[in-house]
Chain A
Amino acid sequence: MMRRALGWVVSSVLLLPFPVLILLSLARRWPWPAVFPRDLQTQQWQVLLTDSSSLGAIILRSLGMGIGVAVTATALGFACSRSLARHRHRDRLTVFLYLPFAVSPVVLGVSLLYTFLRLHLAGHFLGVMLAQMIIAYAYAVLLLSAFWNQRIEALVELASSLGATPWQLWRRALVPMARPLLAVCLFQTFLISWFDYALALVIGSAQVSTVTTALYQYFSSGDLRLAATCSLLLILPPLLGLALNRRLLSATIATRLEDIDG
């Protein structure tokens, strides 16, 4: 009984912002101290989804950036995590991978800005993507290094002795075996890019708008209803991704990784 009540409380606290955001995005007026808005309308959605706000283009840009960062960081991270796992100074190298998380993203952005300005990457889509890649790549290597163990190495040797070329080894053995973990990594690195604000602000130098910078603009302009609508658009792709990933995150990982671990 107690556990059930606690579950309800935790769920309510976690889910409370979502109904509030939905109501706020549909409210015409919501004066204090009314519990619910007086009138509902879809004007905020119309404003955001029409060309006048250019939010459609911003969403597409953020999606492209997120997918680009996720695919590149996961692919590079997977290959590098194997080298890291086999390296004799593995522990020391792992410390370096934690560095991007040890400093605030704003500090990281500022420290990168000078170099990026000289390389003409500041204020460009590619520059923001590269900056986000630093965090996403480090994260991918750390996450995927958990995949490599003695059993996997034994399977690699076995596949080679059965005639697998290095390319076939990756395509037919390693990538399929790591698929659940790769799916998680793709999703998480996408989120790193999608929810990034500081790097987009600093490296983007007001030239590259993403959904998070747009959201902050609506928020700072004082229009909470537009900000709420934008927030819902911000959390929509991750929710869809999470729903798509749900099966991989539960059943597949449980059975296959258990088998890989022996």
Chain B
Amino acid sequence: MADPIAAALKVEHLHVRFAERAVFEDISFELAAHSTLAIIGASGCGKTTLLRSIAGLITANRGRVMLDKQTIDQLPVHQRGVVYLNQEPLLFPHLTLFDNVAFGLRLRCLSPAVIRERTGKLLARLGLDGLRERYPHALSGGERQRAAFGRALAVDPKLLLLDEPFTNLDPDTRTGMQSLFKEVSREQAITSLFVTHDLKECLRIGDRFAILSNGTLALYEDKQTFSEDPRSGVSTEMQFWRELIDKNSGK
């Protein structure tokens, strides 16, 4: 378990059910500040529901969510300080890339000079500086995802929830985005939950790991213990590659 004093996020006995079906029951975990918990699970296992219930986009039937020692269950979505990044790189179609990234800052009524400076720095860091006047329809999938990521970072969230954000990208762009996320989240000391169904992405992104399956969450403190559990699929994956290498070298 993470050190409770340093834990930024604390989820206790979270329970969500839709109609008669329980998506998950009694999920509890803690996440240390400035770290990333990568959650892996099959499609439909409740990964998105878990993130959405923490963000307040759906109401949990039971349980408690604490962020920086404050219970946030009863807070409306806009007061939680939790940004939820969708699988789709959603940008506001009526705004330029610059205005999209500055969207959250404008909501906080910051001065135009501060908004310009902060947004400018982020765009430069994300390699989007030359595209600031472009509208979303004129951007590639990777550029849109970087812009959506930048917009989330701009508001300095207490917790960032990423719901398979790189799924729709081509392999090269995806790898690039994973590296960028890793670098930027380290630089900006981001606390995040990263949901994916891709094992390699999970291993690349996470500081800690979890498997969501059959309504329960199994937690792993490091890559080693995660990889050793057959449920993670790491051993199966490794066996596949070993067999392939052996087969090729046998030829």
Contact = CB atoms under 8 A, between A and B. Distances in A.
Given A163-B107, A163-B155, 9 more contacts: A154-B90, A155-B90, A157-B84, A160-B57, A161-B80, A161-B84, A162-B78, A162-B103, A162-B107
A13 B193 CA distance: 65
Contacts of B86: 154, 157-158
Contacts of A151: 88, 90
Contact of A162 (B94, B136, B155): B155
B104 A163 contact: yes
B94 A176 contact: yes
Contact of B92 (A160, A168, A177, A258): A177
Given A157-B57, A158-B86, A162-B83, A172 B77 contact: no
Given A157-B57, A177-B94, A163 B108 contact: yes
A165 interface: yes
B88 A164 contact: no
Contacts of B103: 159, 162, 172
B106 A172 contact: yes
A92 B19 CA distance: 23
Contacts of B80: 161
Contact of B77 (A160, A173, A177, A256): A160
Contact of A161 (B55, B93, B108, B137): B55
Contacts of A163: 78-79, 104, 107-108, 155
22 contacts: A151-B88, A151-B90, A157-B77, A160-B57, A160-B76, A160-B77, A161-B55, A161-B57, A161-B78, A161-B83, A162-B78, A162-B151, A163-B78, A163-B79, A163-B104, A164-B78, A165-B107, A172-B107, A173-B92, A176-B92, A177-B94, A259-B136
A179 interface: yes
What class of interface size applies to chain B in its complex with A? 20 to 34
Interface string A225-262: 00000000000000000000000000000011011101
A43 B78 CA distance: 64
Interface in A137-184: 151, 154-155, 157-165, 168, 172-173, 176-177, 179
Interface of A: 151, 154-155, 157-165, 168, 172-173, 176-177, 179, 255-256, 258-260, 262
B49 to A, nearest CB: 14
Interface in B96-114: 103-104, 106-108
A256 B137 CA distance: 8
B84 A258 contact: no
B137 A259 contact: yes
A4 B164 CA distance: 53
B152 interface: yes
B8 interface: no
B82 interface: yes
Contacts of A161: 55, 57, 77-78, 80, 82-84
Nearest to A261: B93
Contacts of B57: 157, 160-161
